[in-house]
């Protein structure tokens, strides 16, 4: 018996053995010094990136960072002003969209409303040139097999309007896989879905990736999504790569103020470094300068990486400005001395603190960065 379908999410299903390692050897994608200009405006500034065969890479950044432009260049929907893109060492820029044979999944699903689920999945095969087009029976067989893979067996005769958002996105994935692509390109694939369905589909996508072993590149602005799914995360800002690393490296070892503030939650304070000590206003903090040179600096730390007390030497003095429940903890907004900046810390939900109390905070994990002219 097929597993039940609930809002496009199934439980207890098994993967068809015929789909395990069915695909060709995973492809390597190489991006070399890619520049993309729109008139005088550069959307990409010399991007270089090696994506290993079978790797799942997230392009993460805010709107306008260039991540979707880069994905469109990989897909053949746009061309760089200069630079190279190689698929297994071959020049991909000489290939058309069809010749690249990439699987594309968009946030908007892009399903044909007048076609059934089965016909949507088989569409890419039906429009192939006659010499490469499978028979009708083979197209139907592949589409039904893919329906089983994406855990939507029994819904082949429905139309997109009869499906939930999560189900539609699964159909979009099945359509992308039907052409047996060399690489999967995903542009904000879960952006149109509610939080619960997004979390469920993220787990499902990871299963798909582990089974099919596609080289996969996906665009997202959701830090949690990137850290949960990707083998490596490429953090982008203003058309440049800020940092490339594993989720642990990106979160625990951010190499710039931008990466620290964009990945996860953080508080920051202006400080200064003098003779190996960190100063906040007129008192020192019990923090290691970690090689930061003398001069103005910014202190970054995360709400949960602190110890607190009423009398901690070398700590940040704060006055409670607000309290709120945050899942199993409590978030506290603190005003710090005469500074306009406020910081946010996280305490156990049962921590006894008044709404106008004073508290001392000492970061246990933090980063110091030299101040920039913008600070």
Please list, residue by residue across 160-186, b when 16 or more beta carbons sit within 10 angstroms of its beta carbon and e when fewer do: beebebbbbbbbbbbbbbbbebbbbbb
Q: Per-residue pLDDT averaged across 122-137, rounded?
A: 84
Question: Domain 267-370 carries which CATH code?
Answer: 2.40.50.140
CA distance 141 to 122: 9
In this prediction, residues 32-45 reach a mean pLDDT of 95
Look at 43-52, 104-113, 278-287 and tell me which has the smallest mean pLDDT: 104-113
Residue 147: pLDDT band with limits 50, 70, 90: confident
If you write DSSP's letter for every residue of 186-224 in order, what string do you get?
EESTTTTS-HHHHHHHHHHHHHHHHHH--EEEEEES-HH
Q: Give backbone dihedrals phi and psi of 342, rounded to 5 degrees, phi first.
A: -115, 155
* Span 223-275, pLDDT tens digits: 999 999 999 999 999 999 999 999 999 999 999 999 999 998 999 999 999 98
What local confidence, expressed as pLDDT, does residue 69 receive? 96
Residue written as tokens 């490296």?
249
pLDDT at 351: 82
Q: Under CATH, which number does the domain 5-252 receive?
A: 3.40.50.300
Distance of CA 275 to the CA centre of its chain: 40
Q: Please state the rounded mean pLDDT for residues 47-53.
A: 97
Q: Which pLDDT tens digit goes with each residue over 87-107?
A: 999 999 999 888 888 988 887
The helix (run of H) or strand (run of E) holding residue 262 is helix 257-262
Over range 289-299, report the average pLDDT. Answer: 93
> Do 5-252 and 267-370 agree at the fold level?
no
Per-residue pLDDT band for 108 (boundaries 50, 70, 90) equals: confident
Segment among 133-137, 188-192, 199-203, 283-287 with least mean pLDDT? 188-192
Instruction: Give me the pLDDT at residue 13, please.
Output: 38
Per-domain boundaries in the chain:
5-252, 267-370
Among 112-126, 179-193, 288-302, the range scoring the smallest mean pLDDT is 179-193
| CA 67/CA 65 separation, integer angstroms | 6
Burial of 104: CB neighbours in 10 Å, binned 0-12, 13-18, 19+: buried
List of residues 6+ apart from 256 with CB closer than 8 A: 242, 243, 369
- Among 22-26, 28-32, 252-256, name the one with the lowest average pLDDT: 22-26
pLDDT at 97: 85
Question: Are the beta carbons of 229 and 184 closer than 8 angstroms?
Answer: no
Q: Give the model's confidence band at 354: pLDDT under 50 very low, under 70 low, under 90 confident, else very high.
A: low
Tell me what pLDDT residue 3 has: 37
Q: Residue 369's pLDDT band (boundaries 50, 70, 90)?
A: very high
Distance CA 207, CA 70 (A): 25
Residue 4 has what pLDDT?
Answer: 37
Alpha helices by DSSP H, listed for 116-194, are 117-126, 136-149, 165-178
pLDDT confidence of residue 57: 97
Compute the mean pLDDT over every residue in the chain, rounded to the nearest whole number.
Answer: 87
Residue 227: alpha-carbon gap to chain centroid: 6
Distance CA 235, CA 241 (A): 6
- Whole-prediction pTM value? 0.85
The residues with which 363 forms a beta bridge, in sequence order, are 306
* Dihedrals phi, psi of 260, to nearest 5 degrees: -60, -45
pLDDT of amino acid 345:
94
Q: How far apart are CA 210 and CA 275, in angstroms?
A: 51
Helix (H) or strand (E) holding 330: strand 329-336
From edge to edge, which strands make up the β-sheet containing 277-280? 283-285, 277-280, 267-274, 295-301, 367-370
């Amino acid at each position: 018996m097929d597993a039940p379908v609930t809002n496009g999410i199934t439980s207890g299903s098994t993967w068809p053995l015929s789909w395990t390692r069915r695909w060709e050897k995973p492809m390597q994608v190489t991006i070399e010094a890619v520049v993309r200009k729109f008139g005088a405006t550069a959307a990409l500034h010399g991007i270089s990136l090696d994506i290993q065969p079978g790797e799942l890479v997230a392009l993460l950044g805010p709107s306008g960072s260039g991540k979707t432009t880069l994905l469109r260049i990989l897909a053949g929907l746009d061309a760089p002003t200069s630079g190279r893109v190689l698929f297994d060492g071959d020049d991909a820029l000489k290939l058309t969209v069809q010749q690249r044979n990439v699987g594309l999944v968009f946030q908007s699903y892009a399903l044909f409303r007048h076609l059934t689920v089965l016909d949507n999945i088989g569409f890419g095969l039906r429009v192939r040139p006659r010499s490469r087009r499978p028979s009708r029976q083979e197209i139907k067989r592949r589409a039904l097999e893919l329906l089983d893979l994406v855990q939507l067996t029994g819904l082949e005769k429905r139309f997109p309007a009869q499906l939930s958002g999560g189900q539609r996105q699964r159909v979009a994935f099945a359509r992308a896989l039907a052409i047996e692509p060399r690489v999967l390109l995903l542009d904000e694939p879960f952006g149109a879905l509610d939080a619960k369905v997004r979390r469920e589909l993220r787990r499902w996508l990871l299963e798909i990736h582990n089974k099919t072993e596609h080289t996969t590149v996906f665009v997202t602005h959701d830090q949690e999504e990137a850290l949960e799914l990707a083998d490596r995360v490429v953090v982008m800002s203003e058309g440049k790569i800020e940092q490339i690393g594993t989720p642990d490296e990106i979160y625990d070892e951010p190499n710039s103020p931008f990466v620290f503030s964009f990945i996860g939650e953080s508080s920051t304070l202006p400080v200064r470094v003098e003779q190996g000590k960190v100063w906040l206003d007129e008192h020192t903090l019990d923090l290691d300068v970690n090689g930061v040179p003398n001069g103005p600096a910014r202190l970054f730390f995360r709400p949960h990486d602190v110890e607190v007390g009423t009398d901690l030497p070398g700590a940040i003095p704060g006055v409670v400005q607000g309290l709120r429940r945050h899942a199993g903890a409590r978030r506290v907004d603190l005003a710090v001395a005469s500074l306009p900046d406020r910081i946010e810390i996280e305490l156990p939900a049962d921590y006894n603190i008044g709404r106008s109390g004073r508290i001392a905070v000492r970061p246990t994990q933090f980063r110091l960065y030299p101040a920039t002219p913008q600070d």
